[in-house]
């Protein structure tokens, strides 16, 4: 791969995975400048998610993409109905 993106949820488990994720990235063919980490399932209302995001920022530094993918209940609802989230909840 030319570019590698690792998606980690905002959790203590993701923070604890630092060593294994770094080992995975060391084995990747993409140059270090073409590797990044993205935080997903982030809910800013949850203290544990905010704390995990801060820890991940400290762990990954510039490799952490500055944007997070927020948790949206409409995604799970759409999957349960076999629908596109845009059709079920256009505002999501």
- What confidence score (pLDDT) does residue 3 get? 94
pLDDT tens-digit map of 52-82: 999 999 999 999 999 999 888 888 888 899 9
The pLDDT of 30-39, averaged and rounded, is 95
The rounded distance, in Å, linking the Cα atoms of 22 and 4 is 12
Write down how long the chain is: 92
Query: 15 pLDDT band (50/70/90 cuts)?
Result: very high
Do β-strands 35-42 and 4-9 pair in parallel, antiparallel, or remain unpaired?
parallel
76 CA to centre of own chain:
17
């Amino acid at each position: 791969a030319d570019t590698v993106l690792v998606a980690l949820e905002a959790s203590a488990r993701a923070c604890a995975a630092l060593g294994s994720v770094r080992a995975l990235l060391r084995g990747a063919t993409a140059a270090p400048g073409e590797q990044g980490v993205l935080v997903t399932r982030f809910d800013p209302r949850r203290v544990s998610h905010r704390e995990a995001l801060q820890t991940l920022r400290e762990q990954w530094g510039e490799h952490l993409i500055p944007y997070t993918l927020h948790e949206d209940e409409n995604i799970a609802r759409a999957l349960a109905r076999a629908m596109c989230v845009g059709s079920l909840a256009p505002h999501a």
